Amino acid sequence: MHLGGYSPRLFNVDELPKRTAVCRITEVKSTSSKVRIPTRAIPSLHDFRRDTMQDILTVAMGLDVHRDIIVACLIKGQIGLEPETEIRTFSTLIPEMQKLRDWVLETDCRNVAMESTGIYWQPIYEMLEPCFDSEISILVVNAWHMKNVPGRKTDMRDAEWIATLLRAGLLKGSFIPAKPIRELRHLTRYRKSVVHDITAQKNRIDKFLQSSGFRFTAFLSDAFGASGRNIIRHLIENGSIDRVALDKCLKTKTRNRIDEILVALNGSLSVHQRSFLRMIFEHLLALETHKTAVEDAITEEILKHEEAMNLLCSIPGIDITAAASIIAEIGTDMSSFPDAQHICSWAGLSPGNNESAGKRKSTHINKGNPYLKSMLCEVGWIVSGKRTLYLSGWYWRVKQKKGAKRATVALARKLLSLIYTMLKTGNPYNEECFEERRKHSERKRAGRMINELQRLGYTVVAPE
């Protein structure tokens, strides 16, 4: 039947599920060229798709994780037959999670899936990971991807829907590295937080000195270098400073500006101000000591991945700290990512592709992994300053066309592609490969210029 240009999909009534409602249209009278058919007149597509899912697992469990409760749905049955469904609710306390683990072992369920809701999935993942001697498949699924799978009924529980999709093999888990990598990730991310705390404390001290009338930070390149710290310690002990004491505090070339610095320090601190300055300065020293302890722990952990660390450190601009941060985010096994494009997209370094009617719209990068993205951008800034490198020259060429920010992100993407290839092949960074490519590009450019000149009637003679 053809109604006003609308060609509905035809279903064989005998092949539809028994609970599918079929509404027959016997006569349509309308003066309009287009007829809008009500949704209820078409067979239930949701039920049809759900019943036609091809199950591939006999036992599957879906977990709907909340802050206080865990709703678990177990679907068990032979493929092709109606499965049995059992739903249980557990709290997020450790004894209850142990009961969940025992239920998984009792039912021999080796396939579990759950949404990646905040951090609530992590203790459950840690609890289930050792089951069956670690031979269990635990998928942490992106909720946005899972909800886009068609066929869900509104009255179905989230846990049941997760289990249904898992049993049909329609879920793809997020990248979860091995436990040693996750432990290293705890340290590297915590180090970044400690560095932020140190920067905030330095700004707090500088703000207090500025409000007290001491503006020597304007004359020092690093207010918390050797000279700046000596001045702060003298102010804590004495409350003011003279020329002789200032000369002892200053180091190297800062003595050349002693007169300007002395004018900026022409003041005194009260007893309360000295006490408060001592308090916040000692807190800064404690944070720096704590940062050293964290870095020592990171060094101890990264030595377990010495081969990967040496590969990454062969790239100019990457030191042990940067290598540890990168390895902590992506691991050392690249089998989880099919190619370099996938890992760049996962990290949030792939430009968007939004084009409609021949017009290109927003091409902003996605959120991705902010820890990996920021570290690679920092490395990119360092590489851009080394003008003898091929990557630096590539950065400056892109910057002329796209600007500094886009060029930095593009260089970060190129660095991640290099890291992916290096970790997958085991080959270190080699600048000579880029040198050969640069010479090849120069020969092609020279050939294009020669052809253009000859086309204009000039005779080009090669130099002797």
pLDDT in tens, 401-441: 999 999 999 999 999 999 999 999 999 998 888 878 778 88
Rounded mean pLDDT, 224-232: 90
Note the pLDDT of residue 367. Answer: 86
Which has more confidence, 251 or 30? 251
CA atoms of 374 and 409, how far apart (whole Å) = 9
Lookup: tokens for 212: 């007290």
CA–centroid distance for 336 within its chain: 15
Note the pLDDT of residue 387. Answer: 86
Rounded mean pLDDT, 251-277: 87
What is the SS3 assignment for 63?
Answer: strand
Note the pLDDT of residue 152. Answer: 66
Please tell me the least confidently modeled range out of 68-77, 123-132, 254-263: 254-263
pLDDT digits (tens, 9 = 90+) for 168-216: 888 888 999 999 999 999 999 999 999 999 999 999 999 999 888 888 7
CA atoms of 30 and 6, how far apart (whole Å) = 14
> Residue written as tokens 């270098």?
225
pTM for this one? 0.79
DSSP bridge partners of 113 = 62, 139
Q: Which of 399, 396, 198 is nearest to 283 (CA)?
A: 198
Rounded mean pLDDT, 120-129: 93
pLDDT digits (tens, 9 = 90+) for 290-334: 999 999 999 999 999 999 999 999 999 999 999 999 999 999 999
In the chain, how long is the greatest CA-to-CA distance? 106
| E strand residue ranges, 282-382 | 355-356, 359-360
Rounded mean pLDDT, 347-353: 85
Please tell me the least confidently modeled range out of 21-25, 232-236, 460-464: 21-25
Which has more confidence, 107 or 434? 107
Note the pLDDT of residue 79. Answer: 87
- pLDDT of residue 245 exceeding 80, the answer is yes
- pLDDT of residue 46 exceeding 50, the answer is no
pLDDT band for position 156 (50/70/90)? low
- pLDDT of residue 364 exceeding 70, the answer is yes
246-285 as b/e: b if 16+ CB within 10 A? beebbeeebeeeeeebbebbeeebeeebbeebeeebeebe
Beta-carbon count within 10 A of 109 CB: 24
Note the pLDDT of residue 4. Answer: 45
Note the pLDDT of residue 71. Answer: 92
DSSP bridge partners of 61 = 74, 112
User: To the nearest 5 percent, what fractions of the chain are helix, strand and coil?
Assistant: 55, 10, 35
Note the pLDDT of residue 154. Answer: 55
Mean pLDDT of the chain: 84
CA atoms of 88 and 284, how far apart (whole Å) = 50
Percent above pLDDT 90 for the chain: 55
Note the pLDDT of residue 151. Answer: 67
Alpha helices in 337-403 (DSSP H): 340-347, 370-384, 390-402
pLDDT digits (tens, 9 = 90+) for 51-94: 556 788 999 999 999 989 999 999 999 888 889 999 999 999 99
Note the pLDDT of residue 218. Answer: 77
